[in-house]
Amino acid sequence: MMQFGIFSVGDVTTDPTNGRTPTEHERIKAMVAVALKAEEVGLDVFATGEHHNPPFVPSSPTTMLGYIAARTERLLLSTSTTLITTNDPVKIAEDFAMLQHLADGRVDLMMGRGNTGPVYPWFGQDIRQGIPLAIENYALLHRLWREDTVDWEGRFRTPLQGFTATPRPLDGVPPFVWHGSIRSPEIAEQAAYYGDGFFANNIFWPREHFVRLIDLYRQRYAHYGHGTPEQAVVGLGGQVFMRKNSQDAVREFRPYFDNAPVYGHGPSLEEFTEQTPLTVGSPQEVIEKTLTFRESFGDYQRQLFLMDHAGLPLKTVLEQLDILGEEVVPVLREEFAKGRPAEVPDGPTHEALVARRDTAAPAGTGG
Amino acid sequence: MQRLKLAVVSAGLSRPSSTRLLADRLTEATGERLAQAGRPVDVHAIELRDLATDIANHMVTGFPSAPLREALDAVAGADGVIAVTPVFTASYSGLFKSFFDVLDNTALTGTPVLIAATGGTARHSLALEHALRPLFAYLRAVVVPTAVFAASEDWGAGDAQTEGLPVRVARAGEELAGLMAGRPAAAAAPEEEGVVPFEEQLAALRPR
């Protein structure tokens, strides 16, 4: 089974149609409302970004996800991304293990380096060391979740002697980890080495670029002996705006697109739609465009949509989620299941990871 | 023998443009010298005016459109480059600079480059030396010694103190052709993303 969900950047953006800017409080509550709606309409995943500068609100993802966990039953809680460069890996190990217990295993996370230069010095790091930080910090995090007692020494953090990260992961199985990247082959290589998932946030860049990056990940995943290239765990982004009639969607979304913080005042909506996964149109058009992802990237495990962005009001976002959950995702589930080879893995869950651990090591030797 | 590739970047804005005219003269001079040396050359002419919106969009989105990608690839894959800009406000035009801003900063490493500029008066001619030459030095290109400036009057007689424009064009073309002809055959562009095996990345971080 593929997993479908949404990811939020958590930006506070003025609605360009009426000049209204939500308060931080309103935006935080809106993110929660969007997450609860995701579960209500039958989506599988909610992921939040992590940012440490205005106009973004989600500086403290596990606090937010813990609150959402308490108010949901099925929804998988994730991140997009967790900053492996500037967070202490010890604190990531602790925070997400705690969240994993509280959410009864409905947790995974996506590692990212972040793209805001000043965050590095604000957290005492050097942006020129971005890739080495991502590599060393994750190597430590990986051990902290798998070894009860860790002796460790590295370049970027004080050494650890006889350290045990608490709580230990739920059922002795760490949360599944994705590695997110827009342009770095090093991160695809890192994901492949560990047999972790690779999430290509393809929402702004053309398809060809990500075809190369995902192919590299799949080849290296097989190289490291985790399975065939087709068994590698791939996640993709997307962004959509839908109305029953295509022209209505374009008319309503255009002012939001034209003023969006990331790509506004640049290419036209039409150019951007042609070059990136953005789809503005009818639910059927979204279905058709999303189905092309499989042709480009192979059968994959997780599809996340960016829905609450560009200053769209909460009411509109909730309507979009209704359409996504009722008209789009059910068809995508059915269509993506057709012709999907049996050996292609499902989207990762805690239960599946526990089962795999128990199959691989019946003597209970663990990870 | 393998054909050489010459990319010609012209940032002229008017049509017809004296910047393009100068670029064409330099292309001819270079091509003639290469032909004499028995090295045929394929010319890829790039008019930045046609890519102005694409360049601005690349700045905003971080990725190039297909036509801009083709132009950037042509420059990166060339055995030699002729780069010609009008002088605006004592320097290269913003469009010219923006094109090289979105070019990968290693794309011109070791590539011979002939720089040239046009302007209304010869008083702007040192813009080549104080603006264009450092730009290409930063990109680690090999800039030929003769940089060609064409003021409006140069298209007529020029002045008595300077060699005429045709002489300077010929000398610059000869210099570029010499560097291009002397280059080893260009290696095919690498097909695979170069990736350092993960064990090496990890090992590089182990405390020593």
Mutate to test the interface with B, among A138, A142, A271, A278 (most CBs of B within 10 A): A271
CA B27 to CA B42: how far, in whole Å? 10
Asked if A192 and B198 come within 8 Å (Cβ–Cβ), the reply is: yes
Task: Say if A187 falls within a structural domain.
Answer: yes
Asked if B194 and A186 come within 8 Å (Cβ–Cβ), the reply is: no
Asked if B198 and A132 come within 8 Å (Cβ–Cβ), the reply is: no
The stretch B72-81 carries a mean pLDDT of: 98
Asked if A193 and B198 come within 8 Å (Cβ–Cβ), the reply is: yes
Using the predicted structure, report yes or no on whether residue A366 has a pLDDT greater than 90: no
The stretch A116-133 carries a mean pLDDT of: 92
Provide the sign of the torsion angle of the four alpha carbons B148, B150, B156, B161, taken in this order: negative
Q: State the nearest Cα–Cα gap between B49 and chain A, in angstroms.
A: 17
Domain CATH number, residue A296 = 3.20.20.30
* pLDDT, tens only, A228-277: 999 999 999 999 999 999 999 999 999 999 998 877 888 999 988 988 88
Which of A11, A84, A10 lies closest to A47, judged by CA? Answer: A10
Predicted pLDDT of residue B162: 73
Amino acid at B62: G
| List of chain B residues whose C-beta atoms are within 8 Å of the C-beta of residue A160 | none
Task: Say if A365 falls within a structural domain.
Answer: no
CA A173 to CA A182: how far, in whole Å? 28
Asked if B61 and A266 come within 8 Å (Cβ–Cβ), the reply is: yes
Task: Say if A182 falls within a structural domain.
Answer: yes
Q: Classify residue A104 by burial, with Cβ atoms within 10 Å: 0-12, 13-18, 19+.
A: exposed
Structural domain boundaries, residue A43: 3-360
Domain B4-203 fold is Rossmann fold (3.40.50)
Asked if B65 and A189 come within 8 Å (Cβ–Cβ), the reply is: no
* pLDDT, tens only, B94-137: 999 999 999 999 999 999 999 999 999 999 999 999 999 999 99
Going from N- to C-terminal start, the domains of chain B cover 4-203
Strand residue runs (E) in B78-165? 80-88, 91-92, 112-119, 142-143, 148-151
Asked if B61 and A153 come within 8 Å (Cβ–Cβ), the reply is: no
C-alpha pair distances (Å), A226 with each of A172, A214, A216, A236, B202: 20, 16, 14, 20, 19
Q: What are phi and psi of A319, to 5 degrees?
A: -65, -40
| List of chain B residues whose C-beta atoms are within 8 Å of the C-beta of residue A216 | 192-193, 195
Task: Say if A367 falls within a structural domain.
Answer: no
Q: What are phi and psi of A178, to 5 degrees?
A: -105, 150
The answer to whether residue B56 neighbours chain A at the CB level (below 8 Å) is yes
Task: Say if A83 falls within a structural domain.
Answer: yes
Q: What is the DSSP string of A131-194?
A: HHHHHHHHHHHHHHHH-SSEEE--SSS--EEEE--SSPPGGG-PPEEEEEESS-HHHHHHHHHH
Using the predicted structure, report yes or no on whether residue B77 has a pLDDT greater than 50: yes
Q: State the nearest Cα–Cα gap between B189 and chain A, in angstroms.
A: 15
Query: Nearest residue of B to residue A191 by CA position?
Result: B198
Question: In DSSP terms, which residues pair with B201 in a beta bridge?
Answer: none
CA A24 to CA A298: how far, in whole Å? 39
Predicted pLDDT of residue A361: 67
Query: What size, in residues, is chain B?
Result: 208
Predicted pLDDT of residue B97: 98
| List of chain A residues whose C-beta atoms are within 8 Å of the C-beta of residue B204 | 132
Which of A209, A180, A203 lies closest to A307, judged by CA? Answer: A203
ipTM, 2 dp: 0.77
Question: In DSSP terms, which residues pair with B88 in a beta bridge?
Answer: B91
| List of chain A residues whose C-beta atoms are within 8 Å of the C-beta of residue B192 | 216
Query: Nearest residue of B to residue A276 by CA position?
Result: B63
Query: Nearest residue of B to residue A216 by CA position?
Result: B193
Asked if A186 and B204 come within 8 Å (Cβ–Cβ), the reply is: no
**B59 compared with B163, residue with greater pLDDT:** B59
Q: What is the largest CA-CA distance in chain B?
A: 69
Q: What is the total count of domains within chain A?
A: 1
pTM over 0.95: no
**A158 compared with B1, residue with greater pLDDT:** A158
A316: Cα separation from own chain's centroid: 22
* pLDDT, tens only, B164-202: 999 999 999 999 999 999 887 555 554 455 688 998 988
With contact defined as beta carbons under 8 Å apart, do A345 and A58 qualify?
no
Q: Which residue shows structure tokens 């270079």?
A: B30
Predicted pLDDT of residue A367: 45
Predicted pLDDT of residue B147: 98
| List of chain B residues whose C-beta atoms are within 8 Å of the C-beta of residue A186 | 195-196, 201
Asked if A266 and B63 come within 8 Å (Cβ–Cβ), the reply is: no
Asked if A263 and B207 come within 8 Å (Cβ–Cβ), the reply is: no
Task: Say if A77 falls within a structural domain.
Answer: yes
Predicted pLDDT of residue B50: 97
Query: Nearest residue of A to residue B206 by CA position?
Result: A154
Which of A198, A153, A163, A161 lies closest to A177, judged by CA? Answer: A198
CA A54 to CA B66: how far, in whole Å? 34
Q: State the nearest Cα–Cα gap between B206 and chain A, in angstroms.
A: 6
Q: State the nearest Cα–Cα gap between A263 and chain B, in angstroms.
A: 6
3-state secondary structure at position B181: helix
The overall average pLDDT reported for chain A is 94
